[in-house]
Structure 1
Amino acid sequence: MAALAPPVAAIRVAVRRALTGLPSGGPVLVACSGGADSLALAAATAFVAPRLGRVVGLVTVDHGLQAGSAQRAEAVAAWAREAGFTPATVVRVEVAGRPGGPEAAAREARYQALTEVAGQLGAVAVLTGHTRDDQAETVLLALARGAGPRGLAGMPARRELSGVPLLRPLLEIGREQTRAACEVLGLSPWQDPHNTDPSYARSRVRADVLPALVRALGPGVLDNLARTARLVAADNAALDEVAQAALAAARHPGGGLRVPELVGLAPAVRGRVLHAWARELGAPPGALSYRHVAALDALVTGWHGQGPTDLPGGVRVLRRADRLAPVGPT
């Protein structure tokens, strides 16, 4: 018997780890664009899932942004049906008119479609093909934006999205491994032209910045960036636990937060408390930025009688003596 190619074996092991411990019942869904990363993930899941007694389905999203996108999506679904995916679904989404730039709008539309299909099918998880290289790009982009620890933590291996677990099994798998796995398995990935379009920041990082870093610092820089994301994510989780306890202790019996309880907190914890509280009040997470939290913090640490702070979502917060309280719609 021929030995299993190392890239194929590594991806199957990563998928098995991700699927182990999931609840039984509904199918596992793979989000597949037809690119090398998601195609290698799909092939590995089609092999691993049945051996764990799980049904596996596939969803491919047609964003309608390129000529021939509908035909490519149907080709991915046809391959999936032949590979044993049940169901293999194509979902068409509308990207135009959504907030943010084209990348953010397409991402929002894609995740909305994935969670809707997962809900309809009772799926226990959705798997995406983000790799170590994607994680490294995410960390570099976060650094360039001046993001805090949440940005530097990159993409989590698991997150809840509209009640559906979203899993990223390949965050420790390199892009060269997914390409090699596709070649070994005889799969023909689609090359998305958006991935090399210099008008997108991520494409410029992929084509220019990361190769320059690898040349200057060696190939280990990719693993190191991804490791940084894991370490920061662990620190974030610990600080978030502390912040949740601090938020509970700071609640005022009449509503809002007690300023004396906030003043005594470490800045890193206080910022998380105020961020979490702002979200409770109805500020949309995607619109809630550093400057909003800093304005709330000024009501705590630099108050000199100033008026209310405006937050996204029409929320306003005012300091009344030793209490922060919402004065807008919540």
Structure 2
Amino acid sequence: MLERFRRFLTHYGVKDTAVVIGVSGGPDSLALLHLFIRLRSEFGLSLAVAHVDHMFRGAESALEMEFVKDFCRNHDVLCEAVQIDVPKYAEENPEMSLQSAARECRYSFFESVMKKHHAPFIALGHHGDDQIETILMRMTRGSAGTALAGIPEQREFAGGSIIRPLLSADKREILEYCSLNHLAPRFDPSNEKLDYTRNRFRKQVLPFLKEENPKVHGRFQYFSRTFKEDEEFLQELSKEKLNTVLKRKEKHEAELDIDLFNTLPMPLQRRCIQLILNYLYEDQPSSLSSIHIESLQSLLSHTHPSGSLDYPDGLKVIKSYQTCLFTFEQIKDQSFSRTVQIPSSTVLPNGHLLTCEIISGKPDEWIAGNDVFVMPAKSLTKPLLIRTRRQGDKIKLKGMNGTKKVKDIFIDAKVPVHRRNSWPVLEDGSGKILWLPGLKKSSFEDAGCGAGDYVVLQYKEQ
């Protein structure tokens, strides 16, 4: 173990620096501290211990704190110990489990100790058996992405790094090390209770795996390392592809081009969805799993043009033709109605700009495309009104006999459902719909013969 520990410190550059060590007093963290003490001089390390009494077990856990303090005094190591009333903290934060509350309090304290001692590293005592349990638990729960790689040997934390030098060792080795070095660690009786998922994996699943292969922890650690490397490579590819299929990305919304998305290989599709979710969720809910990704892939690949999914914490995913919208915004009333002054410039609620001006002479160069509408000023019935659609709206399209429902135009043009309620409609003072800006013109557009004044309206992005 000592030699593997030495190789680990060399590999991660833990030399001539300060290191904080999280020590509970149990065999794992005590062995970790003892190994650091043995190599302290060789690697030029300044050591400090961080210990948290979570106050779950009253006098028993308080005695463990005194044990850690005494051990540190006897080995000339600085010790930062604190008591935190985690049960009270969990009561004040009912959305958190006791274990989550304990972890949040513990890591917050670790961060403060690192800053106090200007330490770029905090070492924790997770070992190979912990790795097996973590990977199996996450697989069972339906985790996705790098979470399936389990516990990393090193990860960024508080401006520095968390390191876990004991992941190559299993519990048996650690207990043997404690025995050989007369360390007399303390044991937390809660680790024996089957109330916790991890304990059930430890007591019921792990022994079977150990029977099949006594060094199974080494295989899981190899899987963790290689899976993480593969996943990081695929994540980079996914980020590149996401830039090509994402139409829009804002703080609480994202919009995906479904046709382009469906051209991606399935592994990249899954990771692109995960990247979008990582971006939208500030704190990703634990209930979010691979099932949500699979259901979205199914929705996007289905031939039906529309559909929706409800994700945790109010995230709604809406498919409409070639567009998929991810939004936390509730679908609310987006209607508006405004008089258009002549001339004027109006910013519309959908973010586009509508300009209106008078020009003299023949306006032929203006009339191409659906982003411009032209009428002789003398034939215009005022006032002009820009508004959102109303039930039963119809328009007499240019070059067509009769009228067509605005609703059917939206459907034919495959306008996403979530955009239809904010799409502008221009009507004149008699109530005739003249123009669906950017989409269709009515037969009332008239460039005339060039004489007189013309009203020219333009619709464009800001």
Q: Same fold (TM over 0.5)?
A: yes
Match of 1:302 in 2: 302
The structure having more radius of gyration, on CA atoms, is 2
Deviations 1:152-206 (A, max 9, x none): 4111111223544111111111222222222232211111112211222222222
Determine the structure 1 residue equivalent to 2:27.
36
1:52 paired residue among 22, 43, 57: 43
1 CA distance for matches of 2:315 and 2:116?
A: 33
How many pairs are equivalent? 320
Q: Name the residue aligned to 1:246.
A: 241
Change in 2 beyond 3 A, CA 1:295/1:117 = farther
Letter aligned with residue 53 of structure 1: G
Structure 1 residue 322: Cα displacement: 3.0
Structure 2 equivalent of residue 158 of structure 1:
154
The match for 2:221 is: 226
Gaps of 5+ in 2: 331-462
Cα distance in structure 2, aligned partners of 1:329 and 1:150:
29
Deviation by residue 1:201-239 (Cα, 9 ceiling, x = unmatched): 222222232223323x13133322333333322222222
More divergent stretch after superposition (272-281 vs 178-187)? 178-187
Aligned with residue 76 of structure 2, among 58, 78, 84? 84
Change (3 A) 1:325 1:148: closer
- Are 1:189 and 2:185 an aligned pair? yes
The one-letter amino acid paired with 2:304 is H
Other-structure match for 2:314:
314
Residue pair 2:126, 2:166 contacting (<8 A) in 1 also: yes
In the alignment, which residue of structure 2 is the partner of 1:207? 203
Instruction: Find 2:232's aligned residue among 229, 237, 258.
Output: 237
d(CA) in 1 for partners of 2:242, 2:163: 29
Q: Is the 8 A contact 1:15 1:45 kept in 2?
A: no
User: CA contact under 8 A between 2:319 and 2:325: conserved in structure 1?
Assistant: yes
User: Is the alpha carbon distance of 1:39 and 1:311 closer, same or farther for their aligned partners in structure 2, counting shifts above 3 Å?
Assistant: same
Structure 2: which amino acid aligns with 1:230? R
Deviations 1:55-108 (A, max 9, x none): 221111111111321231232133223323234333525143354544444334
Look up the match of 2:374.
Answer: none
Please say if residues 283 and 311 of structure 1, whose CA atoms lie closer than 8 Å, have aligned partners that are also in contact. no
Relative CO higher for 1 or 2, CA cutoff 8 Å, sep ≥ 6?
A: 1
Q: Which moved more, 1:240-249 or 1:297-306?
A: 297-306
Q: Is the 8 A contact 1:50 1:56 kept in 2?
A: no
| SS at 2:247 equivalent | coil
Question: Any unmatched runs of 5+ in structure 1?
Answer: 1-6
Contact 1:55 1:86 (8 Å CA) reproduced: no
1:21 and 1:246 map into 2 onto residues whose CA distance is 37
C-alpha distance 102-197 of structure 1, shift in aligned 2 (>3 A): same
Asked if 2 retains the 8 angstrom alpha-carbon contact of 1:119 and 1:164, the reply is no
Q: Where in structure 2 are the equivalents of 1:245-264 lying within 5 Å?
A: 245-252=240-247, 256-264=255-263
Tell me by how many angstroms 1:133 deviates. 1.4
Q: Tell me the distance in 2 between the aligned counterparts of 1:254 and 1:276.
A: 12
Where does 1:17-166 land on structure 2 (aligned, <5 Å)?
Answer: 17=10, 19-20=12-13, 27-67=18-58, 68-95=60-87, 96-97=90-91, 98=93, 99=95, 101-148=97-144, 150-166=146-162
Structure 1: how far apart are the matches of 2:273 and 2:56? Answer: 39
Give the whole-Å Cα distance in 1 for the aligned partners of 2:83 and 2:303.
Answer: 51
The structure-2 alpha-carbon separation of the partners of 1:94 and 1:271, relative to structure 1 and needing over 3 Å to count, comes to: same
CA gap of 1:221–1:106, structure 2 versus 1, over 3 A, is: same
Distance across 2 between alignment mates of 1:254 and 1:212: 48
Q: What corresponds to 1:271 in structure 2?
A: 270
Distance 1:19 1:188, change over 3 A: farther
More strand by share: 2
Q: In the superposition, relative to structure 1, how do residues 194 and 80 fare at CA in structure 2: closer, same or farther (>3 Å)?
A: same
Is residue 296–residue 309 contact of structure 1 (8 Å, CA) maintained in 2? Answer: yes
- 2:56 is paired with a residue whose SS is coil
Structure 1 position 13 matched with structure 2 position 3: no
Give the direction of change, closer, same or farther, for the CA distance of 1:312–1:81 in structure 2 (3 Å limit).
farther
Task: Give the aligned partner of residue 285 of structure 1.
Answer: 284
Cα offset for 1:126? 1.2
Distance 1:29 1:301 in 2: 50
Corresponding residue for 1:4? none
TM-score, reference length from structure 1: 0.84
**Cα distance change, pair 259–153 in 1 and its aligned pair in 2 (3 A):** same
The alpha-carbon distance between structure 1 residues 227 and 36, as it changes in their structure 2 partners (threshold 3 A), is same
Which structure is higher in helix share? 1
Partner of 1:3: none
Moved more, 158-167 or 302-311: 302-311
Counterpart-to-counterpart distance in 1, 2:20 and 2:329: 38
Between stretches 195-204 and 146-155, larger displacement belongs to: 146-155
Select between 303-312 and 230-239 the one with higher mean Cα deviation: 303-312
SS at match of 2:316: strand
With normalisation by structure 2, the TM-score equals: 0.62
